[in-house]
Every structure is written in C-alpha cells, then in structure tokens.
Amino acid sequence: MKKIPQPINISAMPKSNKKSFTKKVIDSKTLLLMCLPAIVFFIIFCYCPLPGVYIAFTNYNFRDGIFASPFIGFKNFEFLAKSGQLWSLTKNTILYNTVFIVLGNILQITIAILLNEVRCKLFKKISQTIMFLPYFISAVLIGVIAFNILNYDTGALNSFLKSIGSDPIKVYSMPIVWPIIIVICQLWQQTGYGSIVYFASICGIDASMMEAAEVDGATSWQRIRYIILPSLKPTFVILLLFALGGIMRGNFGLFYNLVGGSNSQLFPATDIIETFVYRMMMNQNNFSVSSAVGLYQSVFGFALILFCNWIVRKIDSEYALF
C-alpha cells in the first residue's frame, strides 16, 4: 500500500539560534569598547596615511604636492631594479632576519630548557631578570657601547691591542666583520625575551608527564627530546610565523645606531631597506624612491605572510594564523 506523505509542521521545527548582527554587537559591547582605542589607533596611523603610497608613482616635489606632482608610473621601481639596489636591499634584509630567526630560536629554546633543568628557584628568578634586561636597552645605547669598544682612537678594543704591543684595527672600515657584530648585538638584546616565552611554555607542560617519565627511568635528554621539544611545537610555529611575517622589516634602530648614516664603506654589507629609505628621505629628499621601496617592502612582506601561512595550513591547519 502506497504511503501518503505527511505534511510538514513548520511550527514544530527548531528555531534558528542565529543572532542578528545588531544583537551580536549589543551583546559584545563591552569587548568592542575595550578594542575601540586600538581600532582608532590603527585607523589613524595605519589606514589614513595609505593614500600617500601614490607618491611611489610620481616624481614628487614640494611645490606641486602629492597629487599634483607628475605621474611617472613604475619608473621609480624600474630605476631601483636596474641599479641593483632593490636586489641588494632585499637580500641583506632577508639574510639578516633569517639568521636572527634561526640562531635566535636555537638560543632561546636552549636557554629555556637549561633554565627548566635548574632546581634552584632563586637562581631561576635572578637569571630571568638578568636575561630580560637587554631587551629594555635602547638601540641608541647599544650603538654608544659598540662605539666605545670599537672606536679606532679611544676604543676599548684598540686600547687593549696597544697595551699588548699589537697594531690597532679600523673596525669601522672592515665591512666583513659587521654582519657578525650586528648578529651578536641583536641576539644579545632579543634572546632573553624569547627565552622567557619558551620557558613559560615549558612551565605549562603537565607535571604528571614529567614525573611519570622520571619514574620510568627516562634521562634528562630523553625527557627533553620526547616531552619538552614536542610540547614546544605550537609555540615555536606561532612565533616563527610572526617572525616570517616581519622578515622584510629590519631593525632600523639597531642598524642605524651601530653603523651610522654616512659610513658608505659599510653599506654593501649592512644596508637594509629601512636605512636606505631613511637616507633617501633625509639626505637626498627623494620621497618618490623612498615610497617606492616602502611599498615594495609592504607588498612583498604581505605576500610572504600569505605564502608561509598557506604552507603551514597544508602541513597542519591547527597552527595556521588564518
């Protein structure tokens, strides 16, 4: 016997729990008000100046202003590409930041693990405080310290060499040594902060796992290899993604205060995008080329973030930023 389909009772169907946009805003008004200062800050200082990127496509001059200056298209970018400066600046910026990321993470994780193995709580607290102090030292002071050590006439290094009968060396005329000096200064300043982040992540590991490993006779190296390092993976991936997002952004304060803005002998080895842009603006008043380099840096960096996030999403979507 053929069954007769029963009519659907619409009133008996479960009602949708979806809230209207206005209702969601009202319910979250406290959180939105807390975010309001940050939103206003980004709108004023990040989005309002965006029309200024038009300068990158003009031959800017003060008389005509931004929008009345002659439009020249991509000639500023063409000039940078043909002169080889764009490649040199990109190479230096990426190489320096790559070294900072690789060596920085290795040192930070190593120090965090060593701190975790120390049993004296007082020593841990003192060590964390001492390691954290360089992070708060300004780049200007780092530059002053480096100058007082490396200065040819009165620097501590040459004073020591003279005292033992050796000839003084002109460090500020030796481009080959400056990548090493810059890397050492960067690691000295940033390692303590990163170590504390990783150490906090280690402290969040379930203590019962560590105790069970000790009861089973696991050595310190085995606990580090099979418990601590795998537990640090989420923290490492997130910090790595943030670092890769800024791989096209150099530490202007550190580079400028260590090298200076007029020592052309060191530019091939130490010049990054930020220092080049500053020189073009302040020394040559070339706002067009400066804006072109800045726009190139932003677009390239944004594309790199998307690419790295895509790779992470393919490997493990849980660790992707978006």
Which residues neighbour 38 within 8 Å (Cβ) at sequence distance 6 or greater?
A: none
Q: What is the pLDDT along the chain (322 residues), one digit of tens a residue?
A: 455 555 555 455 555 445 677 888 888 888 889 999 999 998 998 888 888 889 999 999 888 888 889 999 999 998 888 888 888 999 999 999 999 999 999 999 999 999 888 888 888 888 888 888 888 889 999 999 999 999 988 899 999 999 998 999 999 999 999 999 999 999 999 998 899 999 989 988 888 888 888 888 888 888 888 889 999 988 898 888 888 878 888 899 999 999 988 888 999 999 999 999 998 888 888 889 999 998 998 888 888 888 888 888 888 777 777 7
Predicted local confidence at residue 122, as pLDDT: 86
Identify whether 92 is part of a domain. Answer: yes
Distance CA 287, CA 56 (A): 8
Identify whether 252 is part of a domain. Answer: yes
What CATH code is carried by the domain that includes residue 70? 1.10.3720.10
Find out whether 131 and 137 touch, Cβ atoms under 8 Å: no
Identify whether 125 is part of a domain. Answer: yes
Predicted local confidence at residue 4, as pLDDT: 57
Identify whether 136 is part of a domain. Answer: yes
- The parent domain of residue 223 ranges over 57-319
Identify whether 158 is part of a domain. Answer: yes
Torsion region of 217: left, alpha or beta (phi above 0 gives left; psi -120 to 50 gives alpha): left
Q: Please tell me the total count of domains within the chain.
A: 1
Torsion, CA 55, CA 56, CA 58, CA 63, rounded to 10: 30
Q: What is the DSSP string of 121-178?
A: HHHHHHHHHHHHGGGGS-HHHHHHHHHHHH-TTT-HHHHHHHHTTPPP--GGG-GGGH
Predicted local confidence at residue 112, as pLDDT: 92
CA 76 to chain centre: 27
Find out whether 321 and 234 touch, Cβ atoms under 8 Å: no
71 phi and psi angles, rounded to 5 deg: -80, 125
pTM: 0.83
Element (H, E) at 45: none
CA 161 to chain centre: 37
Identify whether 301 is part of a domain. Answer: yes
Identify whether 289 is part of a domain. Answer: yes
Identify whether 9 is part of a domain. Answer: no
